[in-house]
Copies of this chain bind each other. A is one copy, B any other.
Amino acid sequence: MSSGKREEAQPLATTSPPGSENLLYLTDDQLRRGIEAMFFAYRGFTADPDRILERHGYGRAHHRAVHFINRQPGTTVNNLLDILGVTKQSLNRVLRTLIEDGLVESRVGTRDRRERHLYLTEAGRALENELSEAQRRRMRAAYRAAGPEAVAGFRKVLEHMMDPELRRQFHSIREGR
């Protein structure tokens, strides 16, 4: 298999465009490099929080919950389920430990008393900040090193990589309430 140079080994190849325009950045090899870059970068992206979480006895699922509760204080369980894209059983396990440990407070809704509104406690905010701080530090370094135009491009590509539904949710997250 290894023999030759080109990509001939691919039987179902979709290699070069037939119209053969000058879109070098769309070759299969460039796309593969992008895929690998995404893989390695995501590892870096989660490395710092992972270390912190381990010290506290939590996992990534806890991080995600804490992050989005901080982002939308008072959010309901159902809303969080939509954002995180997991089952309620899975989320519940995580939320239960966070509530037991006093990082998250669950208040029964006033308008609709079936709903539980979630808030970070002081301790919860402290953990969130520790995690976020570490992640922002890395992000800031990457942004700074790459420069503003690169950041704009980065954000643009990421947005187009999302599923349309997730993209809506991404845009529906705002400051404050």
Chain A interface (Cβ < 8 Å from any Cβ of B): 1-2, 5, 7, 9-12, 14, 23, 25-26, 28-45, 47, 64, 67, 71, 73-74, 85, 119, 125-126, 129, 132-133, 135-136, 138-163, 166-167, 169-170, 173-177
Q: Kindly state the separation between the CA atoms of A38 and B163 in the bound complex, as whole angstroms.
A: 13
Chain B residues with Cβ below 8 Å from A138 are 161
- Verify B25–A143 contact, CB threshold 8 A: yes
- Verify B166–A44 contact, CB threshold 8 A: yes
Given the interface contacts A2-B174, A45-B38, A166-B43, does A141 sit within 8 Å of B154 by beta carbon?
no
A29 closest partner in B (C-beta): B175
- Verify A35–B2 contact, CB threshold 8 A: no
